[in-house]
């Protein structure tokens, strides 16, 4: 009977070279299925994160190994292990009384009639056979590279299979790139952005804190990698708020961003609440000041004589100590050279002009990258303005897609500073994350401490790309609202410290652990980049140099 079933299976699913690993012995949809390993399948050769196919009676299930355990047929084996000094006895026990067990999370169903893999809604029946997924199986799941599908890496242990992200789906909702410091977040983000830009999936506005995206980026191995402007000179513009720094790095910025003091509004201070240590009273004071003094309120506050302030306190509800405290806090902004009194331009408009042409903008912070206040202030102000324009235009378009502005993806780093639960509700970034794609603007947040991000915002992050994280709370945050999260945690906690990531959500059919695609000259070439003539000869040397350095870095 069983033999007959096996034969039928062989007919329907030719086994090619893959070996059966074991069979399903129990499980549930919510917790995953248990697989008993056959004696011929050595436990030690099976790694968490590998893909498997379960041949059910009618359906084929595609899943991932999330745990490996040892089990036995009699608990007595644990208390008084048998004498295994004799190889024969050892082999008998090892192949009968004791066995390996896999915990598998079924993720997709592949059935013959339906080309597209579907999410699982049931479990395979008892004794269904389990085998490692072949390249064809995995390719079927992650699709082929095409207009919208972008190659982001390879599944672990499957060098010849490519994982593709659906970029169109990715930019429809906010994206998060998480991981500890040095795990490759900036490299991953650059890969994602390169895909988005090359395939015209969206236009990006990148608040580039550490000059990671525009031009020649210093990597850890002391070699330089190319920025987005170098790869896509026609589609990317570099803006800067620190022209000196840009020029020093031999970047020719397309525009130097400046802000007029009058442009900064109390709303912008809301986001700075934690960073500048502002109390409710101080923010209240700021609103009052603007009401009495108009747009010039900050400058006026910072330059006011004592008697002017006395007068103000007397004639309003403002509390003197809040006023002084606010003034002291705002003094810190005075050292920002990009804040000017006579600046008549409009940086936000300039950015929109580029975006409208389909040009992505990298805004370099130069030396201000070390000042969180500057970063938050500028990002918040510009985003607030741009979002406002987007809302107006989308509403004017009255649902006519042709008149709507282009899909925009705004990239911020240290995202928890913008999106922590205290400020996420009021600030523009919280609003964008929550309103979804209604106004064609989404976020790409890069962060090493996802637990600091407001839960509601986190739940709106459609695609999560996560490199190694080890803090318990960060892990919880990343998996919030993901079914089968516990199983995936095991996988995530075991990633290499670099260049590996777990991708889950909107842009992939199922969670997948990847070896991140190398950001190297092959990648540049794939993006259409041509080496200048005089460099070609040395290209191979540099490739090997880069690869060598990358490997050294993995510890």
Instruction: Please classify residue 306 by burial: count the beta carbons closer than 10 Å to its beta carbon, then call 0-12 exposed, 13-18 middle and 19+ buried.
Output: exposed
Are residues 553 and 221 in contact, defined by beta-carbon separation less than 8 angstroms?
yes
> Which of positions 369-428 make contact with another protein (CB under 8 A)?
none
Q: Pairing between strand 60-72 and 441-447?
A: unpaired
Per CB under 6 A, 9 contacts ligand ATP: no
Position 220 contacts ligand ATP (CB under 6 A):
yes
User: Sign (positive/negative) of CA torsion 66, 68, 71, 77?
Assistant: negative
Q: How far is the CB of 211 from Mg ion (least distance, A)?
A: 10
The reply on whether position 285 binds ligand ATP by CB under 6 A is no
Sign of CA dihedral 422, 426, 428, 434: positive
Backbone torsions φ then ψ of 305, nearest 5 degrees: -80, 160
Q: Which of 186, 211, 246, 521 binds Mg ion (CB under 5 A)?
A: 186
Region 227-286 residues binding another protein, contact defined as CB under 8 A: none
Q: Cβ atoms within 10 A of the Cβ of 538, count?
A: 11
Task: Supply the minimum distance, in Å, between the C-beta of residue 205 and ligand ATP.
Answer: 19
Which of 190/273 has CB closer to ligand ATP? 190
Distance from C-alpha of 107 to C-alpha of 265, rounded to nearest angstrom = 48
Give the C-alpha separation, 387 to 442, whole Å.
10
Measured CA to CA, the distance from residue 330 to residue 297 in angstroms comes to 11
What part of residues 438-457 is at the interface with ligand ATP (CB under 6 A)? 448
Check binding of 347 to ligand ATP (CB under 6 A). no
Site stretch for another protein (CB under 8 A), options 71-79, 318-326, 409-417, 543-551:
71-79
* Contact call for residue 518 and ligand ATP (CB under 6 A): yes
Site string for ligand ATP, 178-197 (x = CB under 6 A): -x-xxxxxxx----------
Q: Does 128 bind ligand ATP (CB under 6 A)?
A: no
Closest distance to ligand ATP from the beta carbon of 459 (Å)? 23
Q: How many helices (H) and strands (E) does the chain have?
A: 22, 23
Partner from ligand ATP, another protein, Mg ion, none binding residue 88, C-beta < 5-8 Å depending on class: another protein
Q: Which of 97, 125, 144, 279 binds another protein (CB under 8 A)?
A: 97
CA distance 515 to 63: 18
Q: Which is nearer to ligand ATP, 219 or 486 (CB)?
A: 219
186 vs 322, beta carbon nearer Mg ion: 186
Whole-angstrom distance, CA of residue 190 vs CA of residue 368: 21
For 58, the 3-state DSSP assignment is coil
Residue among 8, 10, 78, 91 that touches another protein (CB under 8 A) = 91
From 304, 345, 350, select the one nearest 327 (Cα to Cα).
304
Note the residues at the interface with ligand ATP (CB under 6 A). 179, 181-187, 219-221, 448, 498-499, 516-519, 550, 553
């Amino acid at each position: 009977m069983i033999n007959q079933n096996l034969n039928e299976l062989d007919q329907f699913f030719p086994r090619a070279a893959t070996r059966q690993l074991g069979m399903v012995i129990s499980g549930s949809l919510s917790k995953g299925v248990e697989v008993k390993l056959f004696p011929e399948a050595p436990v030690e050769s099976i790694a968490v994160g590998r893909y498997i196919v379960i041949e059910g009676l009618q359906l084929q299930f595609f899943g991932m190994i999330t745990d490996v355990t040892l089990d036995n047929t009699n608990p007595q084996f644990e208390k008084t292990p048998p004498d295994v000094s004799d190889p024969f006895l050892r082999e008998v026990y090892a192949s009968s009384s004791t066995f390996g067990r896999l915990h598998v999370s079924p993720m997709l169903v592949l059935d013959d009639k339906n080309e597209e893999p579907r999410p699982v809604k049931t479990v395979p029946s008892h004794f269904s056979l389990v085998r490692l997924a072949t390249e064809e199986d995995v390719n079927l799941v992650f699709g082929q590279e095409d207009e919208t599908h972008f190659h982001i890496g390879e599944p672990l242990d499957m060098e010849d299979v490519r994982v593709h992200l659906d970029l169109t789906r990715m930019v429809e909702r906010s994206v998060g790139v998480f991981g500890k410091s040095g795990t490759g977040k900036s490299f991953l983000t650059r890969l994602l952005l390169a895909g988005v830009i090359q395939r015209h999936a969206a236009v990006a506005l990148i608040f580039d804190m550490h000059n990671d995206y525009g031009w020649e980026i210093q990597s850890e191995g002391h070699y330089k990698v190319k920025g987005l402007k170098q790869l896509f000179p026609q589609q990317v513009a570099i803006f800067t708020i620190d022209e000196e720094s840009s020029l020093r790095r031999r970047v020719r910025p397309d525009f130097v961003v400046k802000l007029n003091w009058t442009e900064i509004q109390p709303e912008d201070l809301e986001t700075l609440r934690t960073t500048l240590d502002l109390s409710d009273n101080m923010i209240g004071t700021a609103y009052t000041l603007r009401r009495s003094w108009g747009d010039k309120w900050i400058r006026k506050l910072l330059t006011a004589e004592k008697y002017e302030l006395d007068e103000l306190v007397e004639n309003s509800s403002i509390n003197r100590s809040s006023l002084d405290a606010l003034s002291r806090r705002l003094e810190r902004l005075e050292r920002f050279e990009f804040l000017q009194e006579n600046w008549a331009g409009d940086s936000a408009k300039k950015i929109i002009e580029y975006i409208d042409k389909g040009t992505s903008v990298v805004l370099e912070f130069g030396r201000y990258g070390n000042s969180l206040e500057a970063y938050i202030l500028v990002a918040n102000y510009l985003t607030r303005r741009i979002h406002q324009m987007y809302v107006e235009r989308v509403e004017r378009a009255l649902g006519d897609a042709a008149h709507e502005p282009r899909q925009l993806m705004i990239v911020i780093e240290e995202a928890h500073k913008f999106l922590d639960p205290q400020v996420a509700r009021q600030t523009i970034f919280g609003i964008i994350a929550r309103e979804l794609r209604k106004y064609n603007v989404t976020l790409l947040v890069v962060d090493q401490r996802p637990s600091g991000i407001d839960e509601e915002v986190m739940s709106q992050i459609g695609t999560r790309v996560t490199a190694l994280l080890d803090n318990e709370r960060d892990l919880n945050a990343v998996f919030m609202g993901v079914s089968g999260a516990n199983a995936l945690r095991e996988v995530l906690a075991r990633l290499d410290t670099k260049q590996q990531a777990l991708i889950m959500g909107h842009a992939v059919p199922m969670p997948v652990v990847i070896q991140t695609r190398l950001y190297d000259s092959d990648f540049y070439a794939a993006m259409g980049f041509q080496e200048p003539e005089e460099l070609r000869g040395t290209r191979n040397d540099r490739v090997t140099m880069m690869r060598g350095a990358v490997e050294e870095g993995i510890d």
